[in-house]
Amino acid sequence: MIDLKKINNTSLLEFKKLYELYEQAFPEVERRNYDILLELVEKENLMNFSAIMFNQEIVGLLVFWNFEDFIFVEHFAIFENMRNTNLGSKTIEYFLDKHKGKNIVGEIEHPTNEINIRRKKFYQKYGFEVVDENYIQPTYSKYGNGIPLLLLAKEKMTKKEIENCKKIIRKEVYKCEE
């Protein structure tokens, strides 16, 4: 059975294991500086740095932000040795069921290679649709350029809702000044 365990103590072994997955699964430009992540995990109430649990074993990481009008999924990864075992599907099903009635929003890379094509199809299988093809993920640091990604959402959104959603993500998740 899938469950999520929020981690807010960075001295725990669970955090260290999840941080290793975070570093392995996401390129440097798509993740936070270690010290900033530590502070957010311990102090940011809107952010959920969660261990994906299956039969009391950590199988992955789900980082999401619970805003008033939507949930933003920032990072989602299953440990490499546990991929292709339906744990990703079970996690998405669990997460969608747990957050019924609230729109779920996330970012993915453009489908330019086999892995990214599979990732897009995976989310589409669960009803996610691209709401912004020209979305730029802000940089996690003050240096460098944003990353062109696709913005996905589980529910239909008006242009105004999309713009408001992006504004909240930029301000709260990426700490960008408008």
Structure confidence by residue, pLDDT tens digits, 134-147: 999 999 877 778 99
The pair of structure tokens assigned to 130 is 């691209």
Question: How many domains does the chain fold into?
Answer: 1
Give the domain CATH number at 36. Answer: 3.40.630.30
Range in 30-34, 52-56, 86-90, 123-127 the model is least confident about: 30-34
Q: Decide if pLDDT at 103 tops 80.
A: yes
* Domain-located, residue 43: yes
Report the run of H or E that residue 126 belongs to, with start and end: none
Please give the pLDDT value at position 144: 77
CA distance 87 to 66: 22
Residue 148 lies in a domain: yes
Residue range 41-50, pLDDT digits in tens: 999 999 999 9
Any domain includes 47 = yes
Write down the mean pLDDT value for the chain. Answer: 95
Count CB neighbours of 4 within 10 A: 17
* pLDDT on residue 178: 60
Residue 142 lies in a domain: yes
Written as one string, the DSSP assignment of 78-127 is: E-GGGTTSSHHHHHHHHHHHHTTTSEEEEEE--S-SHHHHHHHHHHHHTT
Identify whether 39 is part of a domain. yes
Residue 7 lies in a domain: yes
- Containing domain of residue 30, as a range? 2-173
Residue 178: inside a domain = no
